[in-house]
Amino acid sequence: MKRQGLTRRRVVAAGALAATGAALLAARPADRGAPHTGDFAAMAQALKAAGLALQPTLVVDRARLRANAAKVRAHVQGRPLALRLVNKSLPCLGLLDEVGAATGSARQMVFSLPYLALIAQERPHTDVLLGKPVPAAAAAAFLAMPPASGFDPARQLQWLVDTPQRLAQYREIARGRGQPMRINIEIDVGLHRGGVADADTLRALLQMVQEEPLLRFAGFMGYDAHTQKIPDIAGARARAHHDALAAYQGFVDVLRASPLPSPSGPWTFNTAGSPTFRLHDGSGAANEVAVGSAMVLPSDFDTPLLVDLAPAAWIATPVLKVGAFAAPDGVGALGRLARAWDANERTAHFIHGGNWLADPVSPPGLGTSVLMGLSSNQQLLVGSGTQALRPDDVVFFRPRQSEAVLQQLGDIAVYEGGRIVGQWPVFPARG
């Protein structure tokens, strides 16, 4: 009887061990690797053929860019909404020209004096709204050195003002130069980053504009991206959007009750951004939406409102070295365990550059190692080896954002129809 009980316990123990082993095998990471396919394989070949696979390069797929722009344009067409392109998110004249042609928009939102000067000189037909208030000294410097292109600040530029103090400074600039300045007032519709937050302050600003013949009221700018970035707890996003619309309408009501005369054309009531432009259909107070990053769709903009758009920009960089992954001294044993456990930790790929605001997307199955930090010089990407990469092959990263990232790597390579058809210089990395 005792032997029978012992046998039973052994059977139970063996079963438990087998179940544990099966559970461990089930938990073992699968091989996620594969070679480049489809568009990435063709793009890699095109970069090599153009001699652009020698160092990190920003690549834009022109067909995808145009398709995204067409979808953005379709949202505003037939509605009382204008489209303004966000300059800092598309920091390249070629990129802005392409999107401007595809959308029919000659309006831009500009965020710094250097980019304002560049656009005024190189694209003098552009209608400009400042996207943030600039110091009075910067405004005075721009007006003191007007572009030779024919750009007319008094007609084509709206200065953004957020406080009575800044408006008073701008008023002194206008008086000192005897030159009209168009004034757009930043309003706080819930983001609380700045701008006029109450009716009394707005009335004071409107009165200052009314009393100064050289100041011309042009409209409002109310940025509402917070409505899609806050945690969506118990309908918080929907409530925030509703409140933002109501706040905007309240400021417009104060304006319409003021003594300011109505303009010969419409005022500019700007709102939105890439995360929120599709929440506006022209039925609210706003008559203009700003869009930039959605045109190239970096990964931070993968949201339900933009699900029909496609990524159109990547960083391509060459592989420098490939071999078995050997963790640095001090964690060598952990590296051996990682290789034994996870097939995706077996092969090391050192690339040219790295540590961008971007993530590897092709070939699939590449990632960083927790045993070795990031590097801006030769970043390590580990994988299973089924990516079949060799030195001089190309790895593609998808940017998380477009502003700043698109300017880090020099001229943008333009990919279309299986080949590189041109290069677009980017803005200087400032602003």
The domains found in the chain, sorted by start residue, are 32-56+311-424 (2.40.37), 111-286 (3.20.20.10)
Note whether 316 and 361 are within 8 A (CB).
no
Question: pTM of the predicted model, to two decimals?
Answer: 0.91
Q: Rounded to an integer, what distance in angstroms lies between the CA atom of residue 294 and that of residue 288?
A: 16
Which structure tokens are listed for 98?
């392409």
**pLDDT in single tens digits along all 431 residues of the chain:** 555 555 655 544 444 444 544 544 567 889 898 999 999 999 999 999 999 999 999 999 999 999 999 999 999 999 999 999 999 999 999 999 999 999 999 999 999 999 999 999 999 999 999 999 999 999 999 999 989 999 999 999 999 999 999 999 999 999 999 999 999 999 999 999 999 999 999 999 999 999 999 999 999 999 999 999 999 999 999 999 999 999 999 999 999 999 998 888 899 999 999 999 999 999 999 999 999 999 999 999 999 999 999 999 999 999 999 999 888 888 888 878 988 888 888 999 999 999 999 999 999 999 998 888 899 999 999 999 999 999 999 999 999 999 999 999 999 999 999 999 999 999 998 76
- CB count in 10 Å sphere of residue 390: 9
CB-based contacts of 400, cutoff 8 Å, min separation 6: 298, 299, 300, 357, 358, 359
Distance in angstroms (rounded) separating the CA atoms of residues 159 and 378:
44
